[in-house]
Structure 1
Amino acid sequence: MHKVVEVNGVRLHVEDQGQGPAILTLHGGPGLGSRHGDARTFGVFANEGYRVVSYDQRGNGESDGKPPYSHEQFIDDAEELRKALGLGKIVIAGGSYGGHLALEYALKYQEHLAGIVLRDTAASNAYQHTSKERALASGLPGISEDMLDRLFGGRVASNEEFKEMYRAILPLYWVESTPEQLEAHLNSITFRYETHNWAFSINQPKFNLVHRLKDIKVPTLVLVGRHDWITPLEASEEIAREIPNSRLVVFERSGHSPQIEERDKFLTEVRRFLAEVLPVR
């Protein structure tokens, strides 16, 4: 069910599926992410006794844009949404940049969590040089050092430029893809460059939670594609090493999106984890 929920002065567009113990998803890609991918992936569990809540974060998708777009604001929005919808104790699932936010949420609101699912993410900005090197080495047209520096430095000038930059790097995200698939994905996105610029010029330069991961006591499932270029395998290995009660699963034939490239295995691993930490009564 689609609904609009007002929290902290913004109207958030929400997909609320199923009944039962709740999974709250946090999408990645600030300025280009939305609720739809998570609603499709985790929505499977709405047919298995869970309540699945996915939403466009402020400044993303159809939701209102209103600064600040800080990690603190994003996770406080998540907490207010949890309370507004009466979700109780939840599993929080964050992919890519949403994984940054899931970790931040866990460090502030751990008492509200039964478990954490992290997909292709990192606990610091330390791997940006790795992704830049991989992008430059790809030889893809449209990728240059200047473009990458402006994109990942949060200096994008317009939504049109944002779309063209993303078009250039999009093939890097997949092990296998066709031009038609990439173009369809590109055209499904609502680009909001101001949100992206805030995230990458203000949030990312100071982002480092590695030394605090040991404080997360909640069971954590860490999922990553072996061929991920932007949040590489070693970033997930670090998270799994530092969070005491965690398990790492590597998807051998996936890039940044094992939930799509190895969907059945992804769902099997999440299903197993949910049964352990938030069983359906």
Structure 2
Amino acid sequence: MSGAIEVNGVKLVYEDSGPGSGQGVAIVTLHGGPGMGSRSGDWATFQPLTDQYRLISYDQRGNGQSQGAEPYSHAQFVADLEALRVKLDLGKFVVLGGSYGGFLALEYALAHPENLYAVILRDTAASNRFQDTSKEKALASEFPMDEAMLDRLFSGQMESDDDFRASYAMIQPLYTVERDPQKEAEQLAQIPFRYETHNWAFSRNQPEYDLVSRLSEIEVPVLITVGRHDWITPLEASQELAAGLPNNELVIFEHSGHSPQREEPALFLQTVRDFLARQLSGVGSP
């Protein structure tokens, strides 16, 4: 079901498979791409899991169809997730964060470990130290890159939604191992660009983002997944996570870029199912 819920002064639009789904344990997904992400991709991708689990996907503040209001800080995004958890009466749950949503999943795990059974990460990072690697990969690619535009994108200096759309269109071919220009065009047309949210995230949050020294505090089980050929959160970022998290499993998808959940969907879903089966084996229905 679709709904809207008010938390911390904004209305968040969400999808919820319902408290009767699966065995009752909730999985809450956190989309990436601040200012261009939405609930739709995760909701579609992880539908098969509703045979065993309750699934909730929502548009974060300033994203998709949800209301926008500053601040777009990590602390605020974490507070919004906690308020959503309370209002939907989820109890303990599993958080699944992709890309920038993985940053927020890690931040939530540090702030509210008592509320989590487990964390699932997809193509994310614990720090900003691989941004130069990403830029180098983009400039070394076969695709034409405007270095000045790339720098503005990475530093949160987009001038409008149209500017943001054009910038993303430039880097879009980098995200997958096998290109499908028609699918790229369809995806680009559907993205709800909101440049103010992006600018805040990349000019204020990203420069200070570094959780490496605190990873040892996250004791809940963590599944780290990453595409071997990811350019934007490269393999080294997931290896950094694996080196710092005390209770983790790292799975590398050999034929994927930034989105193994779409590039190798059957294997990705089975990997998630196997991890959850191990971690939730002693959890009964609420």
Which TM-score bucket, shorter chain as reference?
Answer: over 0.9
Distance 1:55 1:43 in 2: 14
Question: Partner residue of 2:91?
Answer: 88
Select the residue among 35, 43, 48 that pairs with 1:44.
Answer: 48
User: Post-superposition shift, 1:139?
Assistant: 3.6
Select the residue among 55, 59, 62 that pairs with 1:56.
Answer: 59
Question: Partner residue of 1:24?
Answer: 28
Superposed CA deviations along residues 117-147 of structure 1, whole A, max 9, x for unmatched, are 0000000000000000000111423x22211
SS at the partner of 2:184? helix
User: Post-superposition shift, 1:241?
Assistant: 1.3
Q: How many residues align?
A: 279
SS at the partner of 2:225? strand
Question: Partner residue of 1:119?
Answer: 122
Structure 2 matches for 1:44-193, cutoff 5 A?
44-46=48-50, 48-141=51-144, 143-193=145-195
User: Post-superposition shift, 1:188?
Assistant: 1.1
User: Post-superposition shift, 1:217?
Assistant: 0.2
User: Post-superposition shift, 1:278?
Assistant: 2.5
User: Post-superposition shift, 1:216?
Assistant: 0.4
Tell me the percent identity: 60
User: Post-superposition shift, 1:247?
Assistant: 0.3
User: Post-superposition shift, 1:49?
Assistant: 2.4
1:173 corresponds to which letter in structure 2?
Y
SS at the partner of 1:118? strand
1:71 corresponds to which letter in structure 2?
H
1:147 corresponds to which letter in structure 2?
M
SS at the partner of 1:135? helix
Quote the RMSD (CA, aligned, Å).
Answer: 0.9
Distance 2:91 2:170 in 1: 42
Specify every segment of 5 or more residues in structure 2 that has no aligned partner in the other structure, as ranges: none
> Are 1:262 and 2:264 counterparts?
yes
Distance 1:178 1:242 in 2: 36
1:91 touches 1:278 (CA, 8 Å); kept in 2?
no
SS at the partner of 2:119? strand
What TM-score results when the alignment is normalised by the length of structure 2? 0.96
1:53 corresponds to which letter in structure 2?
I
> Are 1:230 and 2:229 counterparts?
no
2:109 corresponds to which letter in structure 1?
A
Distance 1:86 1:235 in 2: 34
Distance 1:263 1:49 in 2: 17
Distance 1:93 1:122 in 2: 14
Superposed CA deviations along residues 156-208 of structure 1, whole A, max 9, x for unmatched, are 00000100100010000000121101001101100000000000000000000
Distance 2:180 2:142 in 1: 17
Question: Partner residue of 1:278?
Answer: 280
Question: Partner residue of 1:198?
Answer: 200
Distance 1:278 1:73 in 2: 29
User: Post-superposition shift, 1:40?
Assistant: 1.1
Distance 2:274 2:91 in 1: 21
Distance 1:153 1:107 in 2: 26
User: Post-superposition shift, 1:59?
Assistant: 0.1
Distance 2:126 2:220 in 1: 16
1:63 corresponds to which letter in structure 2?
S
Distance 1:90 1:144 in 2: 42
User: Post-superposition shift, 1:70?
Assistant: 0.2
